[in-house]
Amino acid sequence: MTNKMKFLLASCSTVALAAAASADTVRIGITQNNVGIDSYQTTYEQAFIAAAEANPDVEVIVLDAGGDVARQISQVQDLIQQNVDAIIIWPTDGQALVPAVRNAHREGIPVVVTNSNIAEAGMEFIAAFSGPNNIQQGIYSAEMMCEALGGEGQIVQVTGMPGYTTAIERQKGFDDRLAEMCPGVTQLDIQPGDWNRERAQRTMETFLTRFDRIDGVYSGDDNMGVGALNAALAAGRAEGMVFIGATNFAVGYDAMARGEYWGSVYQSPVDDARAALQTALDVLAGEDVPKLNYFDTPKITQENMDQFDRPVF
C-alpha cells in the first residue's frame, strides 16, 4: 500500500500544474471528453496545459471523462465542490450535460463549453461556447464533395462513433447541405467507422464489394478517411474516387500531398485549446463575450494545402 501511495504521489507531482497560489490566481477546471482516443484530443490537452503554464496567473485542474457521460457529470460535481473559478467542459454528450451545467450556473461558476456544443436547452446556462462549428464543417465537406464531383455521382459516408455529438452534427451538416446543394449526388449508404481507422477500412471494403461504382467517400474525420482510402487503394479502385474528410490529420495531409485525398476541414487542436482557455479568462475578466465563439476551421484541399502547416497529430 505504501508503495502505491508513493506511486500516486509521484505521478501527481509530475503533473503538478499549479503555480504558487497567489491572491489573483484563477483556478479553472476542465473536463475533457476522451483523451487518448485520438491524437486530436491528446494534442488539445497538451496545448491547453502549455497555454495554462505560460500564464502565471492561471492554475488548471485537468480531468478526463474517458467518454463516459456519468463520469463527466461527477467530474463537474467534483469541480463545483472544489469551488473553481470557472469550468471548461468538452461534452461527451450535448444533451446529457445540461443539468450539470445548470448546477454550475446556479453555484455561480461560469461554464465554457469547448469543441462540441451543448444542446439548445443548456445555452442559457453557459457563459460561452468556444470551438469549431461541427455542423458548418459538415456543410464545408458537402460543398467540397459537390464541387469535386461536379454535382453528379454516387457516394458513401463513414461516420464517427454512433451516438456522439460530433459525429451526429457533422453528418447532419453534410447530409442537409448535400441534399440542398447537390441533388445530383446520391448517398448510397452510411455506416459507422467508430473514429477508428481499421474499422473504417473494413466498412469501406464492404462498400466496395457492394457497390460497383463509388465516386466519393465522406468520412467523419481524416483518420477514418485514410482507412477508407487504404481500402480503395488495396482494391485498386482509388483512382478517380474523391475522398473528403474532416479534422485534417497528418496522415490525411500527407495523402492530400500525394494527390490521393481530395480535401478536408482544417481544425487545429492547438487553436481549439487556446481559444477555450482564452474564452474562459475573458469571461472571468468580466469582458463581454459572445455566446458562440467559433474559431475558424477552413476548408483544406489539394490546391490550398500549402497555406497550412502539416498537422502535428
Segment 252-291, which members bind another protein (CB under 8 A)? none
CB of 275 to another protein, least distance (A): 20
Q: Is 236 helix (H, G, I), strand (E, B) or coil?
A: coil
CB of 101 to another protein, least distance (A): 10
Question: Which residues, 38 to 77, sit near another protein by CB under 8 A?
Answer: 38-39, 41-43, 45-46, 61-64, 66-71, 73-75, 77
Residue 181 or 188 having the CB closest to another protein = 188
Residue 12 or 23 having the CB closest to another protein = 12
Q: Quick one: which segment of 50-58, 95-103, 129-137, 174-182 binds another protein (CB under 8 A)?
A: 95-103
State which amino acid sits at residue 114: T
Residue 19 or 66 having the CB closest to another protein = 66
Question: Which residues, 12 to 41, sit near another protein by CB under 8 A?
Answer: 12, 15-17, 35-39, 41
Question: Which residues, 127 to 146, sit near another protein by CB under 8 A?
Answer: none
Reference 123, options 108, 105, 146; nearest CA is: 105
Encode 176-191: b = buried (16+ Cβ within 10 Å), e = exposed: ebbeebbeebebeeeb
Beta strands in 173-234 (DSSP E): 185-192, 216-219
Tell me if 226 contacts another protein by CB under 8 A.
yes
Residue 5 or 23 having the CB closest to another protein = 5
Among 53, 124, 152, 198, binds another protein (CB under 8 A): 198
Dist CA 87 CA 24 (whole Å): 17
Among 55, 95, 301, 302, binds another protein (CB under 8 A): 95
Question: Which residues, 145 to 164, sit near another protein by CB under 8 A?
Answer: 161-164
CB of 160 to another protein, least distance (A): 11
Among 55, 103, 136, 154, binds another protein (CB under 8 A): 103
CB of 7 to another protein, least distance (A): 8
Among 19, 26, 119, 238, binds another protein (CB under 8 A): 119
Among 58, 149, 168, 241, binds another protein (CB under 8 A): 168
CB of 12 to another protein, least distance (A): 5
CB of 20 to another protein, least distance (A): 16
CB of 223 to another protein, least distance (A): 7
Any idea what the Cα angle at residue 251 is, between residues 250 and 256, rounded to 5°? 95
Residue 126 or 208 having the CB closest to another protein = 208
